[in-house]
Structure 1
Amino acid sequence: LARVYIYFSMAMGILFFTLIELFTARTLLPVYFLLAVIAAYRGALTGLNVSGKKMLQGQVFLVLAAAAFVLLVNIFSPSWLESMGMGRLTAAVLIAGGGFGATRVVSATWRLKNPALTRRNTVVLGGIGAGLTAPAALFLFPDMISLPMPAWLLIGFLPLFTLLAGVTLLQNSLPETGEFPAKGILAVMINLFISVTVALTLFYIIHSPHGPAQKLVFYGAFSLVALLLLSFKYFVLGKIRTIGFKLRDYYANSLQNIAEMVSSPAEINLKINRIYSEVMDLTGIRSLKFLLPLEEQSPKLLQAGKSLDYLGADDPLRRYFNENRDIVIRYSLLSNHDADRVIYGLMLALEAFVLVPFYRGKTLKGILAAGEKPESYFFTGQDLGYLKTVSMQLYQLIENDRLFDDYIIKRNYDRELDIASYVQFRLLPRETPVNKGMDISYYNRPYIKVTGDYFDFIDIDKNKTAVVLGDVSGHGLSASMILSMTSSIINAMLREKKSIEKAVDEVNHFLNHRYNGVDLISLFIGVYNRVTRELVYVNAGHCPPLVVRHDKNEVTALEGRSKILGADPGARYFSSKTVLNRGDEVLLYTDGLVEMYDEQRADHITESGLMNILSRHPEQDLETKLKQIIEHVNNVDKEAIRDDITLIGIRAK
């Protein structure tokens, strides 16, 4: 649907640009009229797509016939266009196209009687009406063009333009009113206040008797005030989002519950049904189904019955999501697009309103098909983010269950370790983030096949990336399961935009109140912002990271260290912050590196030894320095290594 809106806006924009030529040379009257025909066609096509109808051949023929007629008249009788009056002719074409599209939208809205659809179509009708009647109005009232523009019209036009700014209105106002009436109303009021303030200020500056120099100062002050008003808007809406509405917290708690279900020993069909119940009770969604590629099918998954379905290699849904990775909402599909029309029919058959794909790298691994919510509610951005994480957790459940079944069947300890190692390998990142303002290198050496170290790189948004490094007190299968649970909790919390303090608190709560074991976890979570260059971090009992300041060639340890996780149920964790300049480096490591000791050579690495390696050759890149540390590890006697070793190097760009 966004594509249709963009095409319509482009057509109207080009049409307005030709007004300049129309009031000067007037040599492109046929071109102007053809552009009006195209704009009317796009308006009609918008209405058809919104109403779920396809453009018929006869309708396309009428548009082509109108365009051909204008060209022929321009060749054989150019004066006729002048005599007809371009204003009336253009207005008639635009109103006809827009009226046709609007009629289709009203008809579909009345027929379907869906409140969510009604609200969306109301905005579309407003956009079509405003876009098509504005140029027509200019020509229907030509006398007003030569008159001074009334002040009230200037002041009233800018608020109207802001409130009808298509996507902004759809994103920040109407859709939110279904879930959060106060937020939607307040967003509209703030937009209106800012628009009126800006319009009044501009009107005053333009009509003030001051000279050019003073007006220039006024324009500078106006720009500053406009920026402050926008900052105020986002600050207020942000406070409302975090304080006034608790849905995000509900979703975070729900994802925590689902993570525990994923790790529970219950049968897979029971766990899937529990997860579906959790999601439907919280969101009001009427139906859920997880679709898997056919090659993921197994005898165990057949027990899940109708909760799961499978997609063959040539399935249209699979082909569609191999090319389009975004979430699909049924009413956003275009009836005049062949692929969209097929997917629309499949969604109706599945009783699905939203399709949420999950990818592992570039490979489609599953699709969560969610039905409609109660008719008075939209799917908000929070809803879609929540469903995206649920889709990931459902696949993790199926993958873990499959690997766990393999582990039970083999009954061989070495094989058990291989399977657990494979599970861990799938949890650990396979590649480092790109275009995030930093270069990352890492090294991981398990003490045995299954490591007790956990590390991850998580994209929070386009500017923020989380770097996580943890160490479980222990090895083997128990450490592997704890790391799996820790990974699920941290990913769920950070993807729900929760703070790193909250994520660490949740892991500590799990270890103390739900796991009831004796294992402890040291954990470091740092979030780097490539715009501000700030590294905000929490260190829960982990080895202090080392920072190399490029401009000073000095190495220091990051301050701020809290209690290890799992030791104190009442522990509180607070973040610290540092700024990384271009070229600064950070080394994260687990205690297995500084605890190894070669008795024959009386050789070991200390914190001061690491600092020496990092500062010895400042011209060397970070990867070379890591290789020196790794070479030292490889040269010691194998008996000297008593724990897992993990290194992560970060260099700010």
Structure 2
Amino acid sequence: MTGPQFCIKHLRDTLSDTSLRHALDVLADASSASVVLFDTDGQVAVGPVAGNDLIRRVLSTPQGRELVISTHRQAANRVAGKSPVVMPVENAGALIAADLDQFGIPICRDGQCAGTLTLGDRPQAPLSQEAISRIESAAGLAPGELREAAAELKPWSPAEASAARNMASLFTELLAELCLQETNLSRRIEELTAVYNIASLLSGTMDLQEILNRTARMVCEVMHVKACSIRLLDETSGTLVIRAVHNLSEEYLNKGAVTVEENPIDRAAIRGENVYIADAPTDPRTRYPQEARTEGIVSGMVVGLIYRGKAVGVLRVYTGEPHVFTPFEEALLQAVASQAAAAIVNVRLMAETLEAERYSRQIAYAGEVQRRMIPSQPPACSQVEIGAVYRPTYNVGGDFYDFIPLPNGNLGVAVSDVSGKGVPASLIMASLRSALRVYAKFTYDIDHIMSRLNKHVCSETKIGEFTTLFYSVLSPDGRRLTYCNAGHEPPMLLRNGKIQPLGTGGMVLGVEENAKFDRELIALQPGDVLLLYTDGAVEALNFSDEQYGRPRLGESLIRYADQPAQLVAQNILWDIRRFRGLADRIDDVTLVVLKIKDTKAKSSA
């Protein structure tokens, strides 16, 4: 794994050169020695900084500066990764030949080296004239130019040299700590930036596959791991299905199925644990160790994709070398997994919402189509006044009523209630309505019509689906009503303040294919009021779970019987609504009212 490097170069990105140089000035002044800070490539990061006049004069020329840097670089190269040593005279240049010491101390922490600090250019004894001349010549200075500075430069004692080394060692420890903190800070910034970028990227698309691909790729880039895979949970089979990968071969991906039940690693991750794998090929929990070895996978970490306590999959990262994930890396992986899980769930919810909206539009259109099957207004009839109301629970429903013009001026009147609600009921309703219209046109006897409709419903529906139907034929003069009631709520015939139920017929349609049906002929009188209704009228519930019931329905019919037929139906509906209050409507409601006119009385008048 790679990432922000532990080195002086990156420290300089955080601290200014001025700050580092000031720190070296303090060290140089305290030790009266010159100081140079080298990076891991052996290049000067800061310095040279002179701690005495001799070296200040040497540094005043380009040749002198190069002389000091070269000498200190030798010291740095010697001690790279080793304990500080004093360089022997025989390996020295002009400064070393003059008996000026230089030593280097590596800036290291936890086995990592950020650079080297070198300290020196003080003599162990007073400088000879020959040594001074050699330095002047190497630095490109005029003869005698360093004489006064050399005379003032005091040799350092072993105690002073040791103190200088200790001070330099302390300084390198501080630099190493700063480098480490800067490295960790850079990593945290990079990780936080990655989480932010991932959140931004994931929120910017509703394409689930793109979200998964982006997540896998960015996890590898941010965490500097070998590979990443994302598996989503198939709740039906318990299988973790591979949905996105980065830097894994087809051979490894096709190694075999992965199920939660058989894989303790993924099972723990689904429960919300961060599962660390030190060495995948030898870990007994690894389901395909040989394939992991072939793929070059060593260490790994598996976290669950969990949103609000619900697991949707797992996120896996793999390294190509042994690696112990830090708490920061685990936290980063968890943060990314949480973001990805939220995005996955949101995309799924959005897809479900769009599908629901599409379905809702289709249902609304189906409702429009179904309402076209319901008569927009009752037919005009000189002998009978007709009113009707229809209120489905949903856009589509299973209730319907119909008025069918028949030969010789007869009028077919039907009210039906299909079991169930919504789309299935509406489809059965449409089929029944079409069949009824066909049979009514070409079959005279109502009981035969019911038998044929029953066979039709039996052949077109599943077990448990059935239909109630009240079908009647009204004579042209409005004085005779022939009807058959197939398990429907018995219509109420109101005559002289008393109600007579019309229940002759048989069982519901769609249960017994060979069921028999009876018919009855009713002689109607002027002033009679006939109410046809579905069970939604009598089964309406209030907040006390009390049904409206037939007695209340009959009372409403009697209460409004003197009003026009349409108002009778509407007022009864309002009575039902007042009884129900704010309680939910649980079924469709259909009401059809037929009032027999007194045509003779009108003629006499």
TM-score over 0.5 for the pair: no
Report the structure, 1 or 2, having the larger strand content. Answer: 2
Report the structure, 1 or 2, having the larger helix content. Answer: 1
TM-score (norm 1): 0.35
